[in-house]
Amino acid sequence: MKTCFLLVPAGALWVGLALGHARAGTTAFFYASQGMTVEAPGATSDTIRTGDYLFTYSQDKWWYSTISIGPGVPTGRFRRMEWPEGLHAQAITAGPSGLLTYQESALVTIRRADGAVFDIVSFAGKLLGSTAGAGGAFEIMPKRDGNDGFADPLTLDATGNSGSVFAYNTPTLVGFDTYGIGIWMDFGLIGLVVRDASEPPPVLSISALAGNAVALSWSTNSAGYRLESTGTLPGQGWSPVVDPATLAGDRFVVTLEAAGTARFYRLAKP
């Protein structure tokens, strides 16, 4: 996360123009206007990226029509929906040997490309097979830094016939970096609303001092950031500012002499 300031000479004065980055806010999927790119596939999954988010969804790639009588050439199973209609997560019925050696639930895993935390506000799933007889439930396990967020998955009923749609608000799915949504039957993730829950970037402030000096400052609550500068935008060579930051109350302050050319400043975490 970064926040920037531009120092522009305007006669005898220096004007500071904020170029800060706002939080991304809330994003809803799936819409035709949203593009996506395909990431590297896995042995039993595919991954796409849309905007800041990555979706990994299980695919029964080792399945083939004569699986019950021995090894053959896997063809995988047909997908019943494609982006942007939704993501078809398939239950895994066959392993690399081509034999029915294990069963894994259909699963969609959601994370941000930058690894930041986010919330799931709501989601909607469509059954692509019937759970009416045995019963079914979506199980959602959030993670942060690789650790499970709950002792047990969040369980939401999904008992119904093929084509049934279940939609839920999820107020407890807050502040994690990865979410897995799974069920034992094939399903389509057809609706999702996420909210960026990452720490907002610090605000870099500027104030004029006596003479030809300016002070750049930011809150001590934003520890770990350093002041960097460049002479052009887009900045290809941001360099740390060597002038030391001093502590003034609850602010870090760097005092600079105004030069004769414009400089761009930002706060960045190394």
pLDDT tens track for 73-125: 788 899 999 999 999 999 998 876 545 445 689 999 999 999 999 999 999 99
Q: Last residue of a domain, which of 133, 163, 196? A: 196
Residues 126 and 187 in one domain: yes
| Domain region containing 55 | 26-196
pLDDT given for residue 265 in this prediction: 83
SS3 of residue 67 by DSSP: helix
Number of neighbours of residue 94 by Cβ within 10 angstroms: 22
- Is residue 44 domain-shared with residue 111, that is, in the same domain? yes
Whose CA is closest to 63, among 13, 32, 103?
Answer: 103
- What does the DSSP 8-state code read for residue 217? E
Question: Are residues 56 and 110 part of one domain?
Answer: yes
Of the residues 158, 174, 196, the one at which a domain ends: 196
pLDDT tens digits for range 182-223? 999 999 999 999 998 776 777 888 888 887 788 889 888 777
Specify whether 211 is located in the same domain as 85: no
Q: 176 pLDDT exceeds 70?
A: yes
Asked if the model's pLDDT at residue 49 lies above 50, the reply is: yes
Q: Do 47 and 163 share a structural domain?
A: yes
- Determine the pLDDT at residue 214: 85
